[in-house]
Amino acid sequence: MLLSEQGTVVVGDVQLAYDRSGEGDPVVFICGTGMPRIAWLQHRPIFEQAGYQTIVFDSRGVGDSDAPPPPYTVEEMTADTAGLIEQLDLASCHVIGLSQGGMIAEELTRARPDLVRTAVLMGSAGRESAYARLLSEAELEVAQTSPLRHVDTTQTLTMSLSSRELQDDATVELWAELIGTSDWSGPGRIGQVQANMGWGERDHWEESWAAISRPVLVMSFEHDILLPPAAGREAAKHMPHGEFVEIEGVGHGGAMMKADEVCRVAMEFFARH
């Protein structure tokens, strides 16, 4: 088994960049909107020390992966993920998706259960909030004109942090510094935002959840204004093997704010299945 590897795979019309390290059962991490694969840096060592192999990749439109012309769809990005899993011979694997990555993980688990052992959906499952719909429309407006660095930063902070965290200057300054190092624009940004909007407009939510045959852990964050815990709880209830957990005290960015806790909860779920 490879201990460390960086490379690319070509799936359909896109080349996807990935990193792979560790030994043991594979865990594929799927990024949220605009999120580069390096953002899983906190989580990977925790899983690897526990005996898992970790795989992270840049979705189409972000980082070192290709950014074909928009629009994109979650189904299209799911096919990208399935192709990567197949080419790296990872099936059946655990998948963890955050935000948009959770949408992809959910669709992958429903459409390609042969590739998935278990799935953890962080801050993603359920009907999106009215605020989330408005936010996507605002993001698309910005993406179609020109990136506004300070607008992007404050918008991401408001979306990701709880009101208590936003009152902590050290937390705000740290997140602003991290966000400010990237300048995400162009077709990839437009495409990923359009994928979110299309997912939020879909019908037959209950039927889709009921068709998921693999064990799924829906992980919600107490102060998430995009996918509140009530939405995640509803989604898990309709999944035949769905479980629900709420991480207290954090907003949509809870996977980063409480990395140790979310990793522990995810691995306990893996162990049960």
Residues designated as active site: 99, 224, 252
Q: Output b/e per residue, 222-234; b: 16+ Cβ within 10 A.
A: ebbbbbbbebbbb
Please tell me the chain's helix, strand, coil percentages from 3-state DSSP, rounded to the nearest 5. 50, 20, 35
**Is the CB of residue 103 less than 8 Å from the CB of residue 218?**
no
Q: What is the 3-state secondary structure (H, E, C) of 152-216?
A: HHHHHHHHHCCHHHHCCHHHHHHHHHHHCCCCCCCHHHHHHHHHHHHHHCCCCHHHHHHCCCCCE
Output the CA–CA distances (angstroms, integers) from residue 20 to 8, 53, 121, 129, in the order listed: 11, 7, 21, 35
Output the CA–CA distances (angstroms, integers) from residue 150 to 177, 232, 252, in the order listed: 11, 31, 19
**Is the CB of residue 97 less than 8 Å from the CB of residue 104?**
yes
- CA dist 184 and 42 (Å) reads 22
